[in-house]
Amino acid sequence: MAGWTKAQYDAAYSFRVERYMPTRAPAGNVPGIHRPEVRINYHEYSMRDIMVSRWTGVLPLLTPSIGPSDRVIVIGAGFGWGVRGLRQQIGCDAIGTDVSPYIQVIKDTDDTAEIRDKIAFVGLDPTSGYGLDILNFARTPGNRAKELVLDEDLSTVQSRQNVATALGGNPTFICWEDLVDDSMTDQDVLDLVALVAASAARKFFIYTPTVSRSAQDLATLSGHRVITTDFQSVAP
């Protein structure tokens, strides 16, 4: 699988920043009236709480559930904020994999420049005043990926060994996180599942159902449990 492009991430994630700020926009600069709102896409500020909440909803639907002694691979992990959410909830060993060039090229950079561009796009100065307030509110210091996200597709023995070595042993759970979308054919999904078919790990999808493929469709096709992002569990 080629992995998502930046355009796909941007299409999937868009968040209005200013409505969550403790300070309001100055008079004559009201977002949505005098200018567009500042929006950010796949950034830690907008995703971190979502990922913690996600695992809070997912874990009770797993039987047995993930525990502190488990080793978990999250496939399609992006910058690994879901991995961190899981580790915060459980304290288990967990790493991510993601073969998207977009993720791998910039995972060790911070997001300041990109958010600065979003602020400038709506006509604000990101270096002073309210524009700088937005930047300081939304940016996250440090590398975007604060958990280990390997560029491994699991298609070879060596790739699977690399993941197991980084994880500290063979996985006990494998999760496909937000990886399946309408761009994937049924054969793409079957190929994805086949990559880890020999693993004894328990496997499940976290999935946002689409018009063309319901959660039950994915469960039936893949042969694995599907947990939707509104926390419904669907068996094969």
Residues 91, 68: contact at Cβ < 8 Å?
yes
The per-residue pLDDT for 211 is 87
* One-letter identity of residue 5: T
Instruction: Tell me the two tokens of residue 100.
Output: 């998207």
Cα(223)–Cα(202) distance, rounded to whole angstroms?
12
Is the pLDDT reported for residue 1 higher than 70?
A: no
Give CA–CA dist 77/136, Å, rounded: 26
| Cβ–Cβ < 8 Å for 80, 175 | no
Given a cut of 70, whether residue 86 has pLDDT beyond it is yes
pLDDT for the residue 216: 97
DSSP strand E in the chain: where?
Answer: 15-16, 39-40, 71-75, 93-97, 149-150, 173-177, 202-207, 225-228, 233-234
Which residue has better confidence, 205 or 5?
Answer: 205
Handedness of CA 82, 174, 59, 71 (dihedral sign): negative
CATH superfamily of 49-108+143-236: Vaccinia Virus protein VP39 (3.40.50.150)
Which residues pair with residue 177 across a beta bridge?
206
Mean per-residue pLDDT, 83-100: 95
Q: Average model confidence (pLDDT) for the chain?
A: 94
pTM of the shown model:
0.92
Q: Is residue 62 scored above 90 in pLDDT?
A: yes
Rounded Cα gap, residues 227 and 219, in angstroms: 9
DSSP track, 103-145: HHHHTTS-SHHHHHHHHHHTT--TTSHHHHHHHHHH---S-S-
- Report pLDDT digits (tens) over 127-169: 999 999 999 999 999 999 999 999 999 999 999 999 999 999 9
Residue with tokens 């002073």: 128
Q: What is the pLDDT of residues 169-227, one digit of tens each?
A: 999 999 999 999 888 999 999 999 999 999 999 999 999 998 889 999 999 999 999 99
How far from 206 is each of 51, 71, 179, CA to CA, in Å? 11, 17, 8
Residue pair 88/63 in contact by the 8 Å Cβ criterion:
no
Q: What is the pLDDT of residue 105?
A: 96
Digit-coded pLDDT (tens) for 31-54: 878 899 999 999 999 998 899 999
In 10 A of CB 52, how many CB atoms? 16
Q: How confident is the model at residue 23 (pLDDT cuts 50, 70, 90)?
A: confident
**Domain extent listing, the chain:** 1-42+110-142, 49-108+143-236
Looking at residue 2, its pLDDT comes to 67
| Structural tokens at position 118 | 């979003």
